[in-house]
């Protein structure tokens, strides 16, 4: 019997057995199968790009995931640290520590004069354009300027505390003096974090600040407790100063060792005018943003006693989890914008900006929904905590 010729997809053509032909080769089933195969291939391709991609998108995705992972783990550890410190000191003394450490964070972000962010734009530009003499000077000058500014700000803060001591509650005075002494090392860590970020060293950017420093604070507090020191905000502040100094020095020496393999020694050039013109607007923006996100704790401390400040701080830190996604995307993206722009890859820059917007929008939306759902569950599960849960829900 003569067979019908077969088409390329393996189905018989002709009209010999129409029912069998339509059953064996349903075009809708073939389209669905092809769509599933393409979807699976796209997913595999994205996974390969994420794990092994050498382009900016693959590297950025890996850095976003690493940064977000460190921040999430760091947030969990910070929660443990805050609970531990609150239990160790009590709510009143813990509230004192919260207020003065918030002041350190605000002043520590202002002190670098914008150099903590401008280096992320300048370092990729100098690498792409081969301006190695400016790069070598920038790597040292940015840290010197930031630490010098922080030292001046520390002296101003000490003077203000001394002059206004009659108007400041007595329980803040000693701890505020100690917190001011922490400013130079805190600022050095902030600037170094952005330098190593521009060098694609995410581990050295994130771990000293968000893992090693909190861990060292816990170790310092435990050592002080075993040594017989009293459980006060002053003791905790001393532990925080030591932890910040050790983390900053570890980051500095590790970064200098890695920079020696990347930056060839040679002569250096100054471009102080260009650096300041770029850094000062960033300084104004970041100062306002830091005040916007942290000044609430300082304002609450003016109207409420330290134990109530501690409660407010704990609730505010819960909502701050949503901010981690934005921080992770910013960490992985800022220096790449500069490099793509100065390398002339405008299509790559446009594509990268589009992806960054999606990374920034959807995960925080999901996190906010999860927090709201958790607040609703907290209201339903326990009648005893209903009032607190509803307060959190309304906030």
Q: List pLDDT tens digits, range 154-181.
A: 999 999 999 999 999 999 999 999 999 9
Say if residue 128's pLDDT is above 90. Answer: no
Residue from 101, 93, 105, 99 nearest 233 by CA:
93
pLDDT of residue 201: 82
DSSP 8-state assignment for residue 264: P
Lowest-pLDDT choice from 139-153, 160-174, 290-304, 333-347 = 333-347
Whether the Cβ atoms of residue 149 and residue 113 lie closer than 8 Å to each other? yes
Single pTM value for the model: 0.71
Segment of 13-27, 207-221, 349-363, 378-392 carrying the highest mean pLDDT: 207-221
Whether the Cβ atoms of residue 349 and residue 341 lie closer than 8 Å to each other? yes
pLDDT of residue 250: 94
Whether the Cβ atoms of residue 321 and residue 367 lie closer than 8 Å to each other? yes
For residues 15 and 62, the model is more confident at 62
Whether the Cβ atoms of residue 297 and residue 102 lie closer than 8 Å to each other? yes
Q: What percent of the chain has pLDDT over 90?
A: 29
Token representation of residue 186: 């805190």
Lowest-pLDDT choice from 28-42, 203-217, 238-252, 299-313 = 28-42
For residues 216 and 345, the model is more confident at 216
Whether the Cβ atoms of residue 319 and residue 371 lie closer than 8 Å to each other? yes
Distance between CA atoms of residues 388 and 375, nearest Å: 10
pLDDT of residue 384: 47
Say if residue 3's pLDDT is above 70. Answer: no
Residue-wise pLDDT for 44-101, tens only, equals 555 555 455 555 555 556 666 666 677 677 777 877 888 888 888 988 999 999 999 9
pLDDT of residue 286: 83
pLDDT of residue 124: 85
pLDDT of residue 272: 85
Mean pLDDT score, 199-221: 87
Say if residue 389's pLDDT is above 50. Answer: no
pLDDT of residue 14: 46
For residues 323 and 49, the model is more confident at 323
Distance between CA atoms of residues 112 and 194, nearest Å: 11
Say if residue 385's pLDDT is above 50. Answer: no
pLDDT of residue 395: 45
pLDDT bin (cut points 50, 70, 90) of residue 31 is: low
Q: What percent of the chain has pLDDT over 70?
A: 73
For residues 112 and 379, the model is more confident at 112
pLDDT of residue 234: 93
Distance between CA atoms of residues 262 and 203, nearest Å: 17
Whether the Cβ atoms of residue 94 and residue 310 lie closer than 8 Å to each other? yes
Residue-wise pLDDT for 256-285, tens only, equals 998 888 888 888 888 888 898 889 898 888
Residue 12 β-bridge partners: 6
pLDDT of residue 177: 95
Lowest-pLDDT choice from 317-326, 365-374, 385-394 = 385-394
Residue 6 β-bridge partners: 12
pLDDT bin (cut points 50, 70, 90) of residue 217 is: very high
pLDDT bin (cut points 50, 70, 90) of residue 365 is: confident
Which run of H or E residues covers position 320?
none
Whether the Cβ atoms of residue 238 and residue 178 lie closer than 8 Å to each other? yes
20 CA to centre of own chain: 61
User: How many residues are there in the chain?
Assistant: 395
In this structure, the number of other CB atoms found within 10 A of the CB of residue 366 comes to 11
Distance between CA atoms of residues 111 and 120, nearest Å: 17
For residues 28 and 364, the model is more confident at 364
168 CA to centre of own chain: 33
Domain ranges in the chain? 59-394
For residues 336 and 287, the model is more confident at 287
Distance between CA atoms of residues 248 and 183, nearest Å: 12
pLDDT of residue 64: 62
């Amino acid at each position: 019997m003569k067979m019908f010729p077969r088409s390329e997809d393996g189905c018989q053509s002709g009209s010999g057995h129409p029912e069998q032909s339509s059953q064996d080769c349903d075009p809708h089933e073939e389209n669905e199968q092809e769509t599933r195969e393409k979807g699976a291939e796209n997913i595999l391709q994205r996974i390969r790009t994420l794990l092994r991609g050498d382009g900016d998108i693959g590297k950025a995705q890996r850095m976003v995931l690493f940064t977000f992972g460190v921040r999430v783990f760091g947030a969990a550890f910070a929660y443990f640290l805050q609970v531990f410190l609150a239990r160790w000191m009590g709510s009143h003394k813990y509230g004192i520590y919260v207020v003065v450490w918030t002041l350190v964070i605000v002043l520590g972000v202002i002190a670098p004069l914008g150099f903590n962010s401008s280096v992320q734009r300048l370092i990729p530009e100098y690498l792409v354009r081969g301006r190695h003499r400016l790069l070598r000077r920038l790597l040292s000058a940015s840290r010197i300027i930031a630490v010098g500014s922080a030292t001046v700000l520390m002296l101003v803060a000490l003077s203000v505390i001394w002059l206004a001591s009659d108007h400041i509650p007595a329980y803040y005075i000693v701890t505020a003096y100690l917190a001011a002494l922490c400013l130079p090392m805190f600022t050095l860590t902030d600037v170094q974090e952005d330098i190593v970020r521009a060098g694609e060293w995410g581990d050295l950017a994130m771990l000293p600040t968000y893992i090693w420093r909190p861990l060292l604070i816990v170790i310092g507090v435990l050592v002080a407790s075993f040594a017989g020191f009293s459980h006060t905000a002053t003791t905790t502040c001393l532990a925080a100063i030591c932890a910040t100094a050790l983390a900053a020095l570890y980051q500095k020496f590790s970064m200098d060792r890695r920079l020696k393999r990347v930056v060839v020694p040679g002569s250096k050039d100054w471009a102080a005018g260009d650096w300041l013109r770029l850094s000062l607007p960033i300084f104004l923006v970041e100062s306002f943003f830091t005040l916007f996100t942290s000044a609430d704790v300082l304002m609450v401390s003016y109207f409420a006693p330290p134990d109530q400040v501690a409660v407010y701080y704990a609730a505010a830190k819960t909502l701050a989890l949503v901010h981690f996604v934005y921080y992770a995307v910013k960490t992985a993206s800022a220096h790449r914008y500069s490099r793509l722009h100065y390398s002339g890859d405008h299509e790559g820059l446009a594509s990268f900006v589009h992806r960054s917007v999606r990374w920034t929008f959807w995960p925080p939306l999901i996190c906010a929904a999860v927090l709201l759902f958790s607040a609703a569950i907290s209201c339903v599960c326990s009648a005893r905590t209903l009032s607190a849960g509803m307060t959190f829900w309304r906030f």
